[in-house]
Amino acid sequence: MKVDVVVCAKNNAETIRPVLERVLRYVPVNRLILIDGESGDETVKIAEGFGAEIYSDGGKGLGYARNTALSLVETPIFAFIDADTLIPKNWFSLIRHFKDPKVAVASGYTFFGRNNPVLKALSEYQLRSDRSEPPSFSNALVRAKQVLDVGGIRVDLPSCEDNELYERLSKNGFRWVVDKRIVAHHPRSLSEHLSHVRWWGRGSRAAGKPVSFHAWHLIKSPASGLKLALKANPALLLYYPMLRLSMYLGYVEEAKMEKKRECRRPW
């Protein structure tokens, strides 16, 4: 079967070419769709060179872009692949999970920092652990009808739209499978990852996650960092607490922005 592939992008000229090369090589593509977040670089031009249909999210953010995809796709099952995520050769084997009619989304494991020893060690540790991985749209196959049945993807979220959808799907009896046998690589530096985690913190607040969740993980992060330092990489003794602090700061930042918006709202 062929599937529509949706790539949400913003200023990804440096990464999108190898991403699309792998998509066209490893996925039976029906339509290649780029939803652009008003990029100021060559992202759109590069995607056009691969035959992509171009749409804009009007600068309204990732949640809006992903929800827009639901109105554009034609195939019952379609793919979300981020413009900075490199899928492996066996990626489309995720389709086997849809034999279960309750599966709404199936995604692979996102391996951060392939060329960074600290992030690589953290990703390798998490990959071989028994912990359940958080859902991610970075490389996912999606059954459109089931997502629409639970109300679609929230358009107001700057990030964490996948985690919020996962909770709604679960409440409605649907499943989101994270298959650790499918490993997609996301090249990223330590500073880039810290910045991205802070962005996740903003989305977590917007999605309604309680502050106690992040506060607890921040409090216990030194102990978790020590464990990771002993089992994965010594630098994680400091870096893991920094990740948790960055997530918390993003949460607080979004809370402050919400208060400002509330003050400006006309009564």
pLDDT value at residue 200:
95
Mark which of 167, 186, 205 sits at the end of a domain.
Answer: 186
Domain count, the chain: 2
Averaged pLDDT score across all residues of the chain: 94
Whether residue 267 is predicted with pLDDT greater than 60 in this model: the reply is no
Same domain, 212 and 182: no
CA distances from 172 to 33, 94, 124, 148, 246 (A): 29, 22, 33, 12, 32
Residue 39 token pair: 């990029």
Same domain, 194 and 177: no
Q: What is the per-residue pLDDT for 134?
A: 84
**pLDDT digit string, tens, across residues 121-145:** 999 999 999 887 789 999 999 999 9
Torsions phi, psi for 10 (to 5 deg) = -155, 115
Residue 117 belongs to some domain of the structure: yes
pLDDT value at 265 more than 70: no
Mean pLDDT of 18-35: 98
Q: What is the pLDDT of residue 263?
A: 73
Q: What is the reported pTM?
A: 0.91
pLDDT attached to residue 110: 93
Q: What is the CATH number of the domain that holds 44?
A: 3.90.550.10
Q: Is 99 part of a structural domain of the chain?
A: yes
Q: Is residue 267 part of a domain?
A: no
Say what the pLDDT of residue 50 is.
97
Do residues 194 and 242 touch, judged by C-beta distance below 8 A? yes
Residue 235 CB neighbour total at 10 angstroms: 17
Helix, strand, coil percentages for the chain (3-state, nearest 5) = 50, 20, 30
Give residue 115's pLDDT. Answer: 83
Q: Which of 186, 207, 235 corresponds to the end of one domain?
A: 186
pLDDT digits (tens, 9 = 90+) for 229-257: 999 999 999 999 999 999 999 999 999 98
Average pLDDT value for residue range 185-213? 94
Task: Find, among 161, 260, 160, 240, the residue nearest to 201 by Cα.
Answer: 160
pLDDT in tens, 53-102: 999 999 899 999 999 999 999 999 999 999 999 999 999 999 999 999 99
Residues 89, 165, single domain; the answer is: yes
pLDDT value at position 266? 63
182/206 same-domain check: no
Domain extent, residue 143, equals 3-186
Same domain, 147 and 217: no
DSSP states of 76-110 as a string? SEEEEE-TT-B--TTGGGGGGGGGSTTEEEEEEEE
Higher pLDDT, 113 or 37: 37
